[in-house]
């Protein structure tokens, strides 16, 4: 049977209609417009494109984005100062610091300087810790987007064996904790993992977050599994060799159009959540 295509693009579009209504409600009840501040440091063209796409998504749902563009020469201290100013600005409901920042900047320190209630991209250690412990925090956008996609297609996770390839702070580690919290049994693989193919052959759910085009071979993946490919490379390739899988796995994310749109959708959705909380605070004062 043909694999179910986990269509992140369609789900994101559908969700945007609901988000637009929620933004309209905030505007009419509280008189302010939700604002996502986006910080781009340096001149990496791919990062600039991602930030632009995030700004466009804000516009589509009637929300505002506040674009902060800083030069390559920005210091850690200067970036921390900008983040502190955005934290203190009551008009700003979410802060996105586009990853990666230039190598001389202490990215972890800057991520962790984002106030928890504005960490709508889910990048702080505090947010990760709370999420892992089942507490309240915004989920890291890409893994949370993947979880929302799996949920929308009602794919069972409890008791399933999920194999995550990659352990980055923004993808591999948080998706592993989210799957664990959803009662999957989770194996995390990385560059030192021996016999990666053997681990993948055990997987009911595969999540690829490696960053290498078609690194995971189709014949490492068992029939009827659920395949999530977070990779995106020139030529529309993912981290998994997807083409041969269409006829024999249960479900898969297309590249493009699977995980990518859900990342942006989760970011704007969590910004709307944050703005709604701010509106409630205004209302109760």
Return d(Cα 17, Cα 20) in angstroms, integer.
5
Residue with Cβ nearer ligand NAP (121 or 276):
121
Q: What is the 3-state secondary structure (H, E, C) of 55-94?
A: HHHHHHCCCEEEEEEECCCCCHHHHHHHHHHHHHCCCCCE
Interface stretch with ligand NAP, choices 85-93, 149-157, 186-194, 270-278 (CB under 6 A)? 186-194
Tell me: does residue 40 bind ligand NAP (CB under 6 A): no
Helix axes 141-152, 8-30, angle to 10 degrees: 110
Report the site for ligand NAP in 119-178 (rule: CB under 6 A). 142, 165-168, 170-172
Catalytic annotation present for 121: yes
Catalytic residue among 7, 98, 173, 229: 98
Shortest distance in whole angstroms from residue 215 CB to ligand NAP = 7
Tell me: does residue 187 bind ligand NAP (CB under 6 A): no
Q: For the chain, how big is the Rg over CA atoms in Å?
A: 19
Catalytic annotation present for 173: no
Return d(Cα 153, Cα 200) in angstroms, integer.
22
Tell me: does residue 190 bind ligand NAP (CB under 6 A): yes
Tell me: does residue 45 bind ligand NAP (CB under 6 A): no
Residue with Cβ nearer ligand NAP (54 or 279):
54
Among candidate residues 126, 123, 63, the one with its CA nearest the CA of residue 93: 63
Cα 107 to its chain centre, rounded Å, is 17
Query: Is the separation of the CB atoms in 277 and 249 below 8 Å?
Result: no
Shortest distance in whole angstroms from residue 196 CB to ligand NAP = 6
Report the site for ligand NAP in 241-270 (rule: CB under 6 A). 259-260, 263
Catalytic residue among 112, 119, 121, 229: 121
Catalytic annotation present for 54: yes
Residue with Cβ nearer ligand NAP (68 or 189):
189
Tell me: does residue 196 bind ligand NAP (CB under 6 A): yes
Interface stretch with ligand NAP, choices 114-122, 199-207, 229-237, 268-276 (CB under 6 A)? 229-237
CA distances 5 to 9, 175, 200, 256, Å, are: 11, 20, 20, 12
Name the site residues for ligand NAP (rule: CB under 6 A): 142, 165-168, 170-172, 189-193, 196, 209-211, 230-232, 239, 259-260, 263
The residues annotated with a catalytic role in the active site are 54, 98, 121
């Amino acid at each position: 049977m043909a694999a179910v295509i986990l269509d992140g693009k369609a789900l994101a579009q559908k969700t945007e209609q609901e988000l637009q209504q929620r933004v309209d409600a905030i505007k009419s009840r509280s008189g302010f417009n939700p604002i996502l501040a986006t910080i781009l440091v340096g001149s990496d063209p791919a990062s600039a494109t991602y930030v632009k796409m995030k700004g466009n998504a804000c516009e589509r749902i009637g929300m505002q984005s506040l674009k902060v563009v800083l030069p390559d020469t920005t210091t850690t201290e200067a970036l921390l100062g900008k983040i502190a100013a955005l934290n203190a600005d009551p008009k700003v409901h979410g802060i996105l610091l586009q990853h990666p920042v230039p190598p001389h900047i202490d990215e972890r320190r800057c991520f962790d300087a984002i106030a928890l209630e504005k960490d709508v991209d889910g990048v702080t250690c505090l947010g990760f810790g709370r999420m892992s412990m089942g507490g309240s925090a915004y989920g890291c956008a890409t893994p949370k987007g993947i979880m929302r996609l799996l949920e929308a297609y009602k794919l069972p996770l409890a008791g399933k064996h999920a194999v995550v390839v990659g352990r980055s702070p923004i993808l591999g580690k948080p998706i592993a904790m989210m799957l664990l919290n959803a009662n999957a049994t989770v194996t995390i693989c990385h560059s030192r993992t021996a016999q990666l193919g053997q681990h993948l052959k055990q997987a009911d759910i595969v999540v690829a977050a490696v960053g290498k085009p078609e690194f995971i071979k189709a014949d490492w993946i068992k029939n009827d599994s659920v395949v999530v490919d977070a990779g995106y490379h020139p030529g529309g390739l993912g981290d998994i060799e997807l083409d041969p899988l269409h006829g024999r796995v249960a479900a898969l994310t297309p590249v493009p159009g699977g995980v990518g749109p859900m990342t942006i959708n989760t970011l704007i959705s969590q910004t709307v959540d944050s703005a709604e909380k701010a509106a409630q605070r205004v209302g109760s004062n």
